[in-house]
């Protein structure tokens, strides 16, 4: 799968999916358009200090773990809301920092 163009807050970005992300999307029944929607309409953000990646939970119940490389969003993996909550809750302040907005 090639890059997918998406506009977030008026900024054009390209989404690139890792093989792992594509595999997890297949397992969880998440389409690329749902990943783009989660990034366009976020409900919550967090930062993983250990891995230097961001997590965004979309209002559509899809969570995206990604690295920012300029205007390229490298999608590392994709979770559902329940998995995101368990992950961020379990590791809490030791590893994840919730971000405003």
Alpha helices by DSSP H, 1-101: 19-28, 32-40, 81-95
Dist CA 98 CA 44 (whole Å): 8
CB atoms within 10 A of CB 3: 13
What per-residue confidence (pLDDT) applies to 92? 64
What per-residue confidence (pLDDT) applies to 15? 96
Task: Report whether pLDDT(99) > 90.
Answer: no
Q: In terms of residue numbers, what domain contains 93?
A: 4-99
pLDDT band (50, 70, 90) for residue 101: low
74, 18 contact by CB (below 8 A): yes
Give the strand order in the sheet containing 96-99: 4-8, 11-17, 72-80, 62-69, 53-58, 42-48, 96-99
CATH number at residue 17: 3.30.2310
Share above pLDDT 90 across residues of the chain, in percent, rounded to a whole number: 64
Task: Report whether pLDDT(28) > 90.
Answer: yes
Can you tell me the mean pLDDT for 38-57? 92
Q: Compare 9 and 54 and report the one with higher pLDDT.
A: 54
**Domain count for the chain:** 1
Q: Does this model's pTM top 0.75?
A: yes
pLDDT digits (tens, 9 = 90+) for 59-98: 999 999 999 999 999 999 999 999 988 887 776 667 777 7
Dist CA 15 CA 5 (whole Å): 6
80, 62 contact by CB (below 8 A): yes
């Amino acid at each position: 799968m090639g890059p997918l163009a998406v506009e977030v807050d008026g900024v054009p970005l390209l989404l690139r999916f890792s093989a792992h992300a594509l595999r997890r999307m297949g397992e969880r029944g998440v389409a690329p358009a749902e990943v783009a929607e989660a990034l366009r309409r976020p409900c919550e953000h967090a930062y993983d200090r250990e891995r230097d990646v961001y997590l965004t939970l979309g209002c559509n119940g899809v969570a995206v773990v990604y690295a920012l490389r300029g205007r390229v969003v490298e999608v590392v993996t994709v979770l559902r809301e329940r998995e995101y909550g368990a992950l961020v809750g379990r590791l809490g302040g030791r590893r994840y920092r919730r971000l405003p907005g």
